[in-house]
A and B are shown apart, each in its own frame.
Chain A
Amino acid sequence: MRPRIQLLSAELIGRILREAFELLMSPGVRVGSAVIELLQSAGVEVNDGIARIPEPLVRECLASVPRDFYLYNRRGEKAVHYGGDDVQFDPGSCCVQMLDPDTLEARPSETRDLVRIVQVTETLPQFAAQSTAVVCSDNDAPSAIGDLYRLFVVLQYSDKPVVTGSFSAAGLQGMIDLLATDSGSAERLRQQPRAVFDVCPSPPLNWSEFGSHNLLDLARAGMPAQIVSMPLAGGTAPVTLAGSVTQHAAEVLAGITLHQLAGPGSPIVWGGAPAIFDMRTGGAPMGAVETAMLNMACAEVGKHLGLPTHGYLVATDSKLVDAQAGAESARSAMLGALAGINMISGAGMLESLACFSVEKLVIDAESIASAQRLARGIEVRGEEVRGDDVGSESLATAMFAQTGLSGEFLKLKETRALFRQEQYLPSPVIDRSARGSEPPSDVFTRARARVDELVGKYQKPSLPEDVLRKFQAIVKREADREADREADRAGVGLPRN
């Protein structure tokens, strides 16, 4: 039996969906001009940029969403499974600050930080995917193509699938070109996608010009999309958790409808980063237990509809890698795993997603491993050890038959054969040693050493020279185009004297 936590009764899920469908009709959903024609041709009434989307159309669109799909690594192997109760983790995305482990201050993140995060993530089996984790404030490319540049860096340093996102219509095509080059062809990329793209509505019930556009482009390109709806309970959404889950459902249902109308059968994930709204700071406390509850409940609604799911957990509001960071991140890793969320983003993030710490990332990896262990539950074993004298179906009696009352379990071949499956064996980040003569170290000190160790162990993938050159050409092409666009904007926007 796999342990599961459910927060919503079947009856409550029914009510949530009923009200979500009501919201799609009244007040309706604000949509960008890019999708108005598409909606109207499907019979949707759109007035003043507000679409009223009827339930039968949404249901029709839900029916064409793939129930599950895979992301592939560079070797063409299935590496992430979106669907069922599989749980996978990736680091948080698109942070602007990096915690300096020497000064403990936050400073603008740079390319070297992204590289270090990718290197560490690459070596840790806890992370099924990479993410375009931090903004690179140092790169010479225009900030408007920062999204493309981040993917360019990640692809050079990793073989794993990537959770990414585009911040401009122009950037997206460049990013798809990079991935197609990496896969060998656009067709191969479509068949074996290596990346999923986050795409965000703006709460409440608003698929902005850019979000709408992004959905359309991704659907038409057949690239997996991951909706990251982020209602803030009490701020940009109803204060009740049930009310926010309902708004989340309506936003995602609207997004799926736009997406499937543009590209029926294109993969899309029921995802989000819902959080409560902090009534003191006006911020979004990612470490709050209610934030975890929202993520779990939103995923439950998605699972009820049979869709792949995503959530944003394993993050903290603390500014330091301290006990609060550990407690909040480990707690939500556990809860997310028990909720069976397919992809859980957020590891490594401090300060309500404003700052990244690679030291926290390796500590989070330990929490994730523990959560993954818990999610496997208590298993009955025996198949693995089938010696002549071992009764495979017994829980304990067969082992007692060998040891009697001697207590010598350490000598049993079952012990040696099974302890690695039964126990998660933590890295030295987790201190279980007996007290020695040295003063005990704290977890941050051990995490720093672990980061150095992993970076030392990391091996850069060997990317063919011509692929790298094509990558560079794509980034250069988009940078030039952006420079032209910037010049156009400046020319039009500012009257010159």
Chain B
Amino acid sequence: MPDQLFGEMLQSIVDGAPDRAAELARQALAKGVDPLEAVNRGFAVGITFAGDQFGCGEMFLPDLLASAEAMKAAIKVLEPEMLKRGSRRETLGKIVLGTARGDIHDIGKNLVATILSASGFQIFDLGTSVTPEQFVAKAKEVDADIVGVSALLTTTMAGQKAVIEALDRNGLRPRVKAIIGGAAVTSKWAAEIGADGYSRNAIDALELAKNLMGKGTVSA
């Protein structure tokens, strides 16, 4: 019986149906299913599947975002019970995100935040046009594992370098990893400014973050 429920959970995520996902989460709680198991054997499998489908071109960004929204809805229902049982879903890592100083383009950064959050990372989103000092302060405050800086414009890419330099100056690296992304960003630029990684899109960013946490092969 639970197997069928897990299957429906998976499907609700793939369908990007937040109401259905929340309803299934409530059903699981009513039936006494361990909420952590509901996540790991049901909903999270759906997110992984959606990510794979996106990777091979069968699903598109709006589908992926809908899946992430459905995931969020399910977690919201399950979280109080998980807390009660003291069985919090294991966080894959803490990530501070923001766009580089002077850059207000946040569509890519928001995608990354949504996908990583749905996949089990804890996201601290500083929003747009974030100064290196703000990145450093937040990374210290939350004891971040990764800092991600997005820049769309060629003119604001220098802001990514400034963040990495600030992390270095404050002695946060190499423990805190710095990753970058954005339309104009290339692997060459990432290497040039000494970033720990770069990815071309949100799904690759998920792989990158998992790899940096040493969890590249473990599914969420």
On chain A, the residues within 8 Å of B200 by CB distance are 281
Q: 8 Å CB contacts to A: which residues of B129-182?
A: 131-133, 154-155, 158, 169
Interface string of A469-497 (1 = CB under 8 A from B): 00000000000000000000000011000
Q: Which residues of A contact B111 (CB under 8 A)?
A: 282
- Residues of chain A contacted by B40 (CB below 8 angstroms): none
Please tell me if A202 contacts chain B, counting CB pairs below 8 Å: yes
Does B154 contact A236, Cβ atoms closer than 8 Å? Answer: no
Knowing A94-B154, A96-B154, A282-B111, the reply to whether A354 touches B61 (Cβ < 8 A) is no
Q: How many A-B residue pairs have CB under 8 A?
A: 45
Given A94-B154, A143-B158: A279 touches B60 (CB 8 Å cut-off): yes
- A208 adjacent to B62 (CB under 8 Å): no
The 8 A CB mask of A276-311 against B (1 = contact, 0 = none) is 000111111000000000000000000000000000
A281–B188 Cα gap in the complex (Å)? Answer: 19
Residues from chain A with a CB closer than 8 A to the CB of B201 are 281-282
Q: List chain B residues, Cβ under 8 A from A354.
A: 183-184
Pair B104/A493 contact, Cβ less than 8 Å: no
A280 touches B184 (CB 8 A): no
B202 sits at the interface (CB 8 A): yes
Q: Does A265 have its Cβ within 8 Å of any Cβ on chain B?
A: no
| B83 lies within 8 A of chain A by Cβ | no
Q: How far is the CA of A283 from the CA of B201 in the complex (A)?
A: 9
Contacts of A280 in B (CB 8 A): 54, 57, 60-61
Are the C-beta atoms of A206 and B104 separated by less than 8 Å? yes
Asked whether B29 is an interface residue with its Cβ less than 8 Å from the other chain, the reply is no
Chain A, Cβ-Cβ closest to B62: A279
Check B127 for interface membership: any CB of A closer than 8 A.
no
Cβ contacts under 8 Å, B131 to chain A: 493
CB neighbours (8 Å) of A282 from chain B are 61, 107-108, 111, 201-202
* Chain B residues closer than 8 Å to A352, beta-carbon distance: 183
A202 and B105 form a contact (CB under 8 A):
yes
Residue pair A208, B107 in contact (C-beta under 8 Å): no
Interface code A122-148, partner B: CB below 8 Å = 1, 0 otherwise?
A: 000000000000010000000100100
Q: Which residues of B contact A494 (CB under 8 A)?
A: 133, 169
The CA-CA distance from A215 to B125 in the complex, in Å, is 31
In the complex, whether A234 has a CB less than 8 A from a CB of chain B is: yes
Using CB atoms, name the residue of chain A closest to B200: A281
Which residue of A135, A234, A236 contacts B62 across the interface (Cβ within 8 Å)?
A234
Within the complex, what minimum Cβ distance (angstroms) separates A496 from chain B? 11
Count how many chain B residues have C-beta atoms less than 8 Å from C-beta atoms of the other chain: 25
Q: Mark A26-56, 1 if CB is under 8 A from B, else 0.
A: 0000000000000000000000000000000
Nearest Cβ distance between residue A283 and chain B, in whole angstroms? 7
Any B CB within 8 A of the CB of A69: no
- Tell me if A66 counts as interface (CB < 8 A to partner B): no
For the complex, what is the distance from the CA of A95 to the CA of B104, rounded to whole Å? 19
| B155 near A167: Cβ-Cβ < 8 Å | yes
Q: Which chain A residue has the least Cβ–Cβ distance from B111? A: A282
Query: Is A101 located at the chain interface by the 8 A CB criterion?
Result: no
* Closest-CB distance, B162 to chain A (whole angstroms): 9
Contact call A135/B154, Cβ cutoff below 8 A: yes
Q: How far is the CA of A108 from the CA of B62 in the complex (A)?
A: 33
| A493 in contact with B133 given A96-B154, A202-B104, A283-B183 (CB within 8 Å) | yes
Smallest distance from the beta carbon of A131 to chain B beta carbons, Å? Answer: 15
Complex Cα–Cα for A279 and B111 (A): 12
CB-contacts of A255-283 with B (<8 A): 279-283
CB-nearest residue of chain B relative to A147? B155
In the complex, what distance in Å separates the CA atom of A108 from the CA atom of B188?
Answer: 9
Q: In the complex, what's the smallest C-beta–C-beta distance from A107 to chain B, in angstroms?
A: 8
State whether the Cβ of A235 lies closer than 8 Å to any Cβ in chain B. yes
Please tell me if the beta carbons of A236 and B107 are within 8 angstroms of each other in the complex. yes
Task: For the complex, give the distance between the alpha carbons of A94 and B62 in Å.
Answer: 30
Q: Which of A75-99 contact B (CB under 8 A)?
A: 94, 96-97
Residue of B nearest to A95 (CB): B154
A281 CA to B54 CA, complexed, in Å = 10
Q: CA separation between A167 and B188, bound complex, in Å?
A: 24
In the complex, per-residue mask of B105-127: 1 if CB is within 8 Å of any chain A CB, else 0 = 10110010000000000000000
Most B CB within 10 A of own CB, among A135, A234, A280? A280
Q: Which residues of A204-234 have CB atoms within 8 Å of chain B's CB atoms?
A: 206, 208, 210, 232, 234
Residues of A within 8 A of B62 (CB): 234, 279
Q: Contact: B57 with A235, CB < 8 Å?
A: no
Distance of A202 Cα from B128 Cα, bound (Å)? 13
Which residues does chain B contribute within 8 Å of A210, judged by CB atoms? 102
Q: How far is the CB of A34 from chain B (nearest CB, A)?
A: 15
> Which residues from chain B contact A108 at a C-beta distance below 8 Å?
188
**Nearest-CB residue, chain B, relative to A200:** B153
Q: What is the CB-to-nearest-CB distance from A33 to chain B, in angstroms, rounded to a whole number? A: 14
A353 to B201, CA, bound (A): 17
In the complex, A374 Cα to B154 Cα: how many Å?
Answer: 36
Q: How far is the CA of A135 from the CA of B60 in the complex (A)?
A: 33
- B155 shortest CB reach to chain A, Å: 5
Shortest Cβ gap from A345 to chain B (Å)? 16
The answer on a CB contact under 8 Å between B104 and A208 is: yes
Alpha-carbon gap, A77 to B23, bound state (A):
72
| Chain A contacts for B183, CB-based, 8 A | 283-284, 352, 354
Chain B contacts of A232 at CB under 8 A?
A: 107
A206 to B188, CA, bound (A): 32
Chain A: CB-nearest residue to B64: A279
Binary contact readout B194-212 vs A (1 if CB under 8 angstroms, 0 otherwise): 0000001110000000000
A135: chain B residues at CB < 8 Å are 154
A-B contact pairs, 16 of them (CB 8 A): A96-B184, A106-B186, A135-B154, A146-B155, A208-B104, A232-B107, A235-B107, A236-B107, A279-B62, A280-B61, A282-B61, A282-B111, A284-B183, A352-B183, A354-B183, A493-B133
The 8 A-B pairs of least Cβ separation, nearest first, read A279-B60, A96-B154, A279-B61, A167-B155, A202-B104, A235-B107, A96-B184, A208-B104
